[in-house]
């Protein structure tokens, strides 16, 4: 099973700041890495797939990069609605696995 | 607009059974793999199971294999999860999610979820 490790666990930032979230895989997943956003009481929403492709309707301030084992989700300038928990997921191998999440909270 | 509506959750004793359903609309159901993902209270996401569009391939997490059965009725655009021998650790919100494309397992969108509580 591919283990995804996200860091940091919590990121405390102010609106307008840049957020950089990391996801590291225990073995190469190529570019088969995605990112989801989950707000309290809501279902997750796909943000990024195949490492760097934005899903439909996702604002350009969200970007993904990386390949192999190291991946980054960047939010260029945090909006109030971006404070949430973010999960990475790999689809390179079964079972599909998720990282433990990074909470982006208001500083 | 794609819509996924889960139902069937509830309170069940350990060792009991539940059947979850996910009614889908707004897309060509049989063209897409479908998935179940769960989230225990206050915890992260855990993939549970995937079934391909025609139902010919099925995958399970080790934690549920042999106890849970995923299935689909393409004539009714409905996904199911039969859960048997339930345990306390199965307590979670269960989400159904559509695979983004016919060939990829990116989960988009997700339903609103249905809560399963396993307790005596």
Determine the Cα–Cα distance for residues B68 and B48; give it in Å rounded to an integer.
9
Within 10 A of A63 (CB to CB), how many other CB atoms are there? 16
Q: Are A43 and B111 a contacting pair at CB < 8 A?
A: yes
Task: Tell whether B58 is within 8 A of chain A (Cβ).
Answer: no
Residue among A76, A19, A63, A94 nearest B61 (CA): A94
User: Does the pLDDT of residue B103 top 80, yes or no?
Assistant: no
A25-44 residues touching B, CB cutoff 8 A: 34, 36, 38, 43-44
Average pLDDT over residues B62-74: 98
A20-62 pLDDT, tens per residue? 999 999 999 999 999 999 999 999 999 999 999 999 999 999 9
For residues A101 and B107, give the distance between their C-alpha atoms in angstroms, rounded to a whole number.
Answer: 16
- CA gap A18, A12 in Å, rounded: 11
Rounded to the nearest 5°, which phi and psi values hold at A95?
A: -75, 150
Residue A101: list chain B partners with CB under 8 A: 44-45
Cβ contact (<8 Å) for B45 and A98? yes
**Residue A77 pLDDT grade (very low, low, confident, very high; cuts 50, 70, 90):** very high
Distance, CA of A77 to CA of B90 (rounded, Å): 38
Contact predicate B97/B35, CB 8 Å = yes
Where would I find the beta strands (DSSP E) of chain B? 3-7, 10-12, 18-25, 34-39, 45-51, 58-60, 68-73, 78-83, 92-101, 104-110, 114-118
- In this prediction, residues B27-45 reach a mean pLDDT of 97
Average model confidence (pLDDT) across chain B: 96
pLDDT in the model for residue B104:
83
pLDDT at B30 over 80: yes
Q: Is the peptide bond preceding residue A95 cis, with omega within 30 degrees of 0?
A: yes
Buried b / exposed e along B41-55 (16+ C-beta atoms within 10 A): eeeebbbbbbbbbee
Q: Does A87 touch chain B (CB under 8 A)?
A: yes
Pairing of strands A70-75, A19-25: antiparallel
Q: Which DSSP category does B76 fall into? A: T
pLDDT at residue A99 tops 90: yes
Contact B45 A43 (CB under 8 A): no
% chain A with pLDDT above 70: 100
Whether the CB of B48 is below 8 Å from some CB of chain A: the reply is no
Asked whether the beta carbons of residue A43 and residue B95 sit closer than 8 angstroms, the reply is: yes
Nearest-Cα distance to chain A for B110, in Å, is 6
């Amino acid at each position: 099973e591919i283990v995804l490790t996200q860091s940091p666990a919590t990121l405390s930032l102010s609106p307008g700041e840049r957020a950089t979230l990391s996801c590291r895989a225990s073995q190469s997943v190529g570019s088969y890495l995605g990112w989801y956003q989950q707000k309290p009481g809501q279902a997750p929403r796909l943000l990024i797939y195949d490492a760097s492709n934005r899903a439909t309707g996702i604002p350009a301030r969200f970007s993904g990069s990386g390949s192999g084992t190291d991946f980054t989700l960047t939010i260029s300038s945090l909006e109030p609605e971006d404070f949430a928990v973010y999960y990475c997921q790999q689809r390179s191998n079964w079972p599909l696995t998720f990282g433990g999440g990074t909470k982006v909270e208001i500083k | 607009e794609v819509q996924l509506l889960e139902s069937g959750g509830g309170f069940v004793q350990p060792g009991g059974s539940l059947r979850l359903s996910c009614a889908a609309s707004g897309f060509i159901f049989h063209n897409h793999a479908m998935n179940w993902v769960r989230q225990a209270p206050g915890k992260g996401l855990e993939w549970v199971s995937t079934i391909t569009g025609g139902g010919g391939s099925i995958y399970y997490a080790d934690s549920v294999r042999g106890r849970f059965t995923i299935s689909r009725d393409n004539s009714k655009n409905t996904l199911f999860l039969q859960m048997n021998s339930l345990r306390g650790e199965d307590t979670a919100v269960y989400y159904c999610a559509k695979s983004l494309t016919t060939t990829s397992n990116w989960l988009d969108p997700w339903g609103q979820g249905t809560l399963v509580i396993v307790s005596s």
